[in-house]
Amino acid sequence: MKRVVIVGGGIAGLATAYYLQTRAQGKVNYTLLESAPVLGGKIVSAREKGFVVEGGPDSFITQKTHALELCRELGLGNDLMGTNDAARQVFVWSRGKLHPMPDGVMLIVPTKIMPFLKSPLISWRGKMRMGLDAFIPAKRDDGDESLAHFVRRRLGDEALDKIAEPMIAGIYVADAEDLSLQSTFPRFLDMENKYGGLLRGVLAQKRAASQTRRANGKGNGQAPVSMFMTLRHGVQQLTEAMIAQCDANALRVNQRVVRVQRASDAYAICLDDGAVLHADAVVFAAPSYVTAELVRDLDSALAAQLAQIRYVSTATVSLGYKRAEVAHPLNGFGFVVPRSEKRKILACSWSSTKFSHRAPEEHVLIRAFIGGAHNEALAEQDEALVIQAAREELRAMMGIDAKPVITQVYRWRKANPQYEVGHQARVASIEQRAAQHNGLYLVGSAYHGVGIPDCIADGARVTQTLLAP
């Protein structure tokens, strides 16, 4: 029977274990080794005093269907919850106050004219510059470029500063000047290539969508799926359900892998307590800089390539308050902060508005994001200082002075891979090199997408390869 060792028990490693458990019909003997005392990696949901606090991800995108399908397969369908879209509004901190992001802005492009024209967030000069997108010819070469370069080229500096950079920083905690457009938002590149610009692309897509709606009459009768979904008791419900389906003896915690070597026709997986496991295949599901160290003896060139993927640190601070003690209406999903504002927080989610069941009756839950590409040191400070920074900012930006009834801080050291310009080519070259080692696989957020669905897709893809005749 084929022996497979999975190194790392985050969502990517767990997905691999789960698919091997449920798809291999006992043909594979798998063992997952996780260095931490618990499984789940960045997925942590703390349930305390009636609050559901997310330490890492609070939801997953549904356009990429792997996470949604897996939740349904695991019988979690009744606990799936979309965002509370009646309150869908994001604010942008600018010049000392929160401004609503104009209705219809799709990450970087306005899709509705009037709300955009009326919004005070962007100056008239900035709006006119954005309009020039309709006349600027498409770039000729198909090389990668940074998101900042792309937005500046098509929509101008102000659109980058007030809209694109803070929205994107909230998702990728990255510097837009370094972030690869090809690896993060290829659909904007497609719009440029296909329609000659973003505004033309948006108009064409709106026309196509309304034609489809007309052709389908009143729709297909199914309730629309929210763009982002979560689970009633937190995202950790997903990893808990996966763990429950796996063979308990196959998932081992407190097992730090320190080295992987070749041993005749197999791999020797060495643990920090001196134990050695042998396997025909190894699935590396740890951060790429960890994998780099683990494969150094096996292939130093592969190690060097893996080590090139940079990671940054972030922290999340969740604060629960009595509703009566927060005067702010919390009338939206939260706000993002342009880098030019030089604040200590990157973004803030009004979690109990964004999702139901996040705070008990008469209470609210707020989550601040600290750190990222420009402010790593802030996220790496002592917990008390991280909390203090978040509370000071909420006082200054939202007028919240009350003492929280719960406070949870999660510091994620070197947790967010940065998809820098050239990322796709870098990953292709890493995978080419890895393919020279029979039975060596790489999964997780470092490679083909940082989102939960991407990591699950990785696990599914590797399982298919492992089970191929």
Ligand X SMILES: Cc1cc2nc3c(=O)[nH]c(=O)nc-3n(C[C@H](O)[C@H](O)[C@H](O)COP(=O)(O)OP(=O)(O)OC[C@H]3O[C@@H](n4cnc5c(N)ncnc54)[C@H](O)[C@@H]3O)c2cc1C
CB of 239 to ligand X, least distance (A): 9
Binding region for ligand X (CB under 6 A) out of 72-80, 204-212, 410-418, 429-437 = 410-418
Binding region for ligand X (CB under 6 A) out of 30-38, 75-83, 123-131, 354-362 = 30-38
Q: Which of 150, 350, 412, 441 binds ligand X (CB under 6 A)?
A: 412
Residue 464 CB contacts under 8 Å (≥ 6 apart), including other chains: none
CB of 103 to ligand X, least distance (A): 23
Q: Please, what is the end-to-end C-alpha distance for the chain in angstroms?
A: 13
Cα–Cα distances in Å, from 451 out to 43, 63, 197, 371? 11, 11, 27, 19
Output 8 or 201, the one with its CB closest to ligand X.
8
- Going by C-alpha positions, the residue among 189, 225, 218, 172 that lies closest to residue 372 is 172
CB of 217 to ligand X, least distance (A): 34
The encoded tokens of residue 137 equal 């010819």
Output 182 or 236, the one with its CB closest to ligand X.
236
Residue 438 CB contacts under 8 Å (≥ 6 apart), including other chains: none
Q: Which of 17, 18, 30, 42 binds ligand X (CB under 6 A)?
A: 42
13 scored as a contact of ligand X (CB under 6 A): yes
56 scored as a contact of ligand X (CB under 6 A): yes
45 scored as a contact of ligand X (CB under 6 A): no
285 scored as a contact of ligand X (CB under 6 A): yes
226 scored as a contact of ligand X (CB under 6 A): no
Residue 340 CB contacts under 8 Å (≥ 6 apart), including other chains: 161
- Judged by CB under 6 A, the chain residues 287 through 326 that form the site for ligand X are 287, 290, 314, 316
Output 61 or 159, the one with its CB closest to ligand X.
61
CB of 434 to ligand X, least distance (A): 16
352 scored as a contact of ligand X (CB under 6 A): no
Q: Which of 28, 33, 270, 317 binds ligand X (CB under 6 A)?
A: 33
44 scored as a contact of ligand X (CB under 6 A): no
286 scored as a contact of ligand X (CB under 6 A): yes
- Going by C-alpha positions, the residue among 205, 469, 285, 341 that lies closest to residue 197 is 205
Phi, psi torsion values for 315, nearest 5 degrees? -140, 150
Cα–Cα distances in Å, from 182 out to 189, 212, 400, 417? 7, 28, 40, 15
Q: Residue 278: which H helix or E strand, with range?
A: strand 276-279
For residues 264 and 439, give the distance between their C-alpha atoms in angstroms, rounded to a whole number.
13
20 scored as a contact of ligand X (CB under 6 A): no
CB of 458 to ligand X, least distance (A): 8
Q: Which of 16, 19, 52, 57 binds ligand X (CB under 6 A)?
A: 57
Phi, psi torsion values for 261, nearest 5 degrees? -130, 165
Binding region for ligand X (CB under 6 A) out of 3-11, 174-182, 295-303, 389-397 = 3-11
For residues 77 and 60, give the distance between their C-alpha atoms in angstroms, rounded to a whole number.
14
Residue 303 CB contacts under 8 Å (≥ 6 apart), including other chains: 292, 293, 295, 296
139 scored as a contact of ligand X (CB under 6 A): no
459 scored as a contact of ligand X (CB under 6 A): no
Beta bridge partners of 271: 257
Binding region for ligand X (CB under 6 A) out of 6-14, 76-84, 276-284, 355-363 = 6-14
Q: Which of 16, 45, 59, 180 binds ligand X (CB under 6 A)?
A: 59
* DSSP letter string, 270-333: EETTS-EEEESEEEE-S-HHHHHHHHTTT-HHHHHHHTTS-EEEEEEEEEEEEGGG--S---SS
Q: How many residues bind ligand X (CB under 6 A)?
A: 36
CB of 33 to ligand X, least distance (A): 5
Binding region for ligand X (CB under 6 A) out of 32-40, 155-163, 276-284, 329-337 = 32-40
Q: Which of 62, 226, 416, 418 binds ligand X (CB under 6 A)?
A: 416
30 scored as a contact of ligand X (CB under 6 A): no
415 scored as a contact of ligand X (CB under 6 A): yes
- 13, 227 contact by CB (below 8 A): no
- Going by C-alpha positions, the residue among 39, 5, 35, 40 that lies closest to residue 20 is 5
Residue 33 CB contacts under 8 Å (≥ 6 apart), including other chains: 5, 6, 7, 8, 9, 252, 255, 256, 257, 269, 271, 277
Rg of the chain in Å (alpha carbons):
23
Name the burial class of residue 399, with classes exposed (0-12), middle (13-18) and buried (19+) by CB atoms within 10 angstroms of its CB: exposed
- Judged by CB under 6 A, the chain residues 234 through 263 that form the site for ligand X are 256-257
- Judged by CB under 6 A, the chain residues 435 through 454 that form the site for ligand X are 444-445, 450-452
Kindly list the residues in this chain that would bind ligand X in the complex (CB under 6 A).
Answer: 7-13, 33-36, 41-43, 56-60, 256-257, 285-287, 290, 314, 316, 412, 415-416, 444-445, 450-452, 455
